[in-house]
A = this chain, B = another copy of it.
């Protein structure tokens, strides 16, 4: 057992120590987000649901935890030239905010099709925007040029141990807030969030179940687990703009070994979950943030005998950055 435990802590990009260090590093900057519950929503799936509301985190998403940990991990000599990223969304805003708090510049390559409210967030937090075309290649190329020009440090949105450790602080908080949680449902995109949450939660309670929630139209994690290798898709089709990335080499091993299952979710189910979050929880939740609720309400989860013992379920509501007009449009399309 001791050998196993040593292996466990060594073979992934983060562990309970690095996650606890991250918690100390970010605690004067990040919010301890509240956990909401609703008996109405509980009654829809016959379990107790605990919503860990990262939409109330600074920047409106969990991303601030990882970004803040990464930025405050840098040596002064590294930090002074600034940081660079080519995430289109919440990571970019979070990185801009964390950089502002450290007093260093953040250069953000943003594709032209990024959601308006996410671009506004980057601007609000003082990030310097460099526009690129929408394709990943264009974004990466533009970022490379910015790195050369500035001498800054690239902070990848998920394939980075400091980012994974920061996201893992969610589990430390959640399991202190609601100790009886036996299952956590986590959105899966590049895998930084689910890797951190899983490594922390399974270290605290090895029997806890971790289920990923992934859009059907961007199911690289489910496919990867099925065949045992990282799959990269030729294209993705989902309204969940935060869940279109693919697993990286640091996040894949955690998803492969420690995530119990990936539940696939249709966009229509995501939209219905967004409506329930708004109407019943009174919370603005972006598509990526609502996918966990969508997963527990799906028959694939509710009727699966493997999960009948999941009684107290933590749901990571990962972010709330959704333009109101876009939400209204989705709900109209989704319900009519």
Partner-B contacts on A (CB < 8 A): 31, 34, 36-37, 39-40, 55-56, 58, 60, 117, 124, 275, 278-279, 281-285, 320, 324-325, 327-328, 331
Contact = CB atoms under 8 A, between A and B. Distances in A.
Contact of A324 (B36, B37, B56, B327): B327
Chain A binding surface SS class: helix
A36 B279 CA distance: 19
B279 A56 contact: no
A124 B40 CA distance: 9
Contacts of A285: 282
A34 B55 CA distance: 14
A282 B284 contact: yes
A282 B121 CA distance: 13
Contacts of A60: 282
Nearest to A317: B282
The 9 closest A-B pairs by CB, nearest first: A282-B320, A34-B34, A282-B284, A55-B282, A328-B328, A278-B284, A278-B324, A36-B56, A60-B282
A37 B30 CA distance: 11
Contacts of A117: 279
Contacts of A37: 31
Contacts of A56: 36, 281-282
